[in-house]
Amino acid sequence: MSLRPFKAVAKVNIFLKITGTRGAYHEIISRFMRIESLYDTITFKPKADTAPFVLHGHFTCRLEDNTLYKAYCALKEQSCAARVHDFFTAHQLVVEKRIPAFGGLGGGSSNAATLLLACNELLALGLSKETLCAIGLRIGADVPFFISQYHSANVSGIGEIVTPYEEPPLKLHVTTPDIEISTPRVYQSYRKHHFNPLSEHDAHRWAERSSEEILQHTSIAEANDLFVPACHEYPDLKLHVKPAYFFSGSGSSFFKVVPHG
């Protein structure tokens, strides 16, 4: 008997500003907002074979590079390794993908976070949110946000600091052109050609502004420091820029507010 499915929702970056560097990483201040209407579905289904990890879904990467497999491996490094091993020996993962890959919507990170949260619940692992976030950060910088399950949050550092931001939910329309963006390539372009980190004072000001106010009074390039370097590396992105749309993460997705009513 299959267990209930779990939703792995997408996110957008209302704004994304670079505040500095930490070795090879970039420190940021960004407003993440969940998109509840756009999600992958993860289901655990019984299987007869004894393979340690079986994943079914439309993925283009190698299994070893998949965030779900990385989450599984990270859980096995905890004290609960035997329970995790037995569960995945008895169950396969079936993923229905809806979140576009390489779109700046956090699909891979959301998948990993959802697996960690689901296993913590189903296997009664008793891991705290702090522990799950620490595990998730080793998988991807956006994973702690999805583990937090906040609807809207300011994310800073290299993704490890997640602070809830109380505001009414916005109805957003998301569009993703068929352009596969490499996040490391965009960040490298920013560091090489566009490096201009935000001051601590200005970062605090961005963190205080509501998402609605930001989207009403800033431009696409002002709101996201990665938009210009992304266009520099992927010129075809410019063909998809439309009035009132903003840019999520390192791309390639664009989004805009849909008026109520």
CATH number at residue 228: 3.30.230.10
Domain for residue 39, yes or no?
Answer: yes
Q: Say if residue 249 is exposed, middle or buried (CB neighbours under 10 Å; 0-12, 13-18, 19+).
A: buried
Domain for residue 97, yes or no?
Answer: yes
In angstroms, the CA 32 to CA 105 distance is 10
Question: Within 10 A of 117 (CB to CB), how many other CB atoms are there?
Answer: 20
- pTM to 2 decimal places: 0.95
CA 126 to each of CA 67, 80, 116, 234, 257: distance values in angstroms, whole numbers, following the listed order: 22, 10, 11, 44, 39
Q: Residues, the chain, total?
A: 261
Largest CA distance in the chain: 58
pLDDT for res 258:
94
Catalytic residue (choose from 17, 40, 70, 142): 142
pLDDT for res 1:
60
Domain for residue 57, yes or no?
Answer: yes
In angstroms, the CA 72 to CA 84 distance is 8
Q: Is position 11 annotated as part of the catalytic site?
A: yes
Question: Which residue in 100, 102, 132 sits closest to 115, CA to CA?
Answer: 132
pLDDT for res 2:
67
Residue type, 175: T
Domain for residue 200, yes or no?
Answer: yes
Question: 135 by DSSP, 3-state: which?
Answer: helix
- Helix, strand, coil percent content, the chain, rounded in steps of 5: 40, 25, 35
Domain for residue 75, yes or no?
Answer: yes
User: Strand 161-164 and strand 91-96: pairing?
Assistant: unpaired
State the 10-residue block means of pLDDT for the chain, 261 residues long. Answer: 89 98 95 97 95 94 95 91 94 97 95 98 95 96 97 97 96 96 96 96 98 97 98 97 97 93 60
pLDDT for res 216:
96
Catalytic residue (choose from 11, 17, 40, 70): 11
CB 99 within 8 A of CB 39: yes
Six-digit token pair at 40? 């992958």
pLDDT for res 261:
60
Domain total in the chain: 1
Q: Which residue segment(s) compose the domain that 219 sits in?
A: 6-257
Question: 26 by DSSP, 3-state: which?
Answer: strand
Domain for residue 220, yes or no?
Answer: yes
Six-digit token pair at 97? 């993908």
In angstroms, the CA 169 to CA 37 distance is 12
pLDDT for res 60:
87
In angstroms, the CA 259 to CA 261 distance is 6
* Residues forming beta bridges with residue 95, ordered by sequence position: 42
Domain for residue 1, yes or no?
Answer: no
How large is the C-alpha radius of gyration of the chain?
19
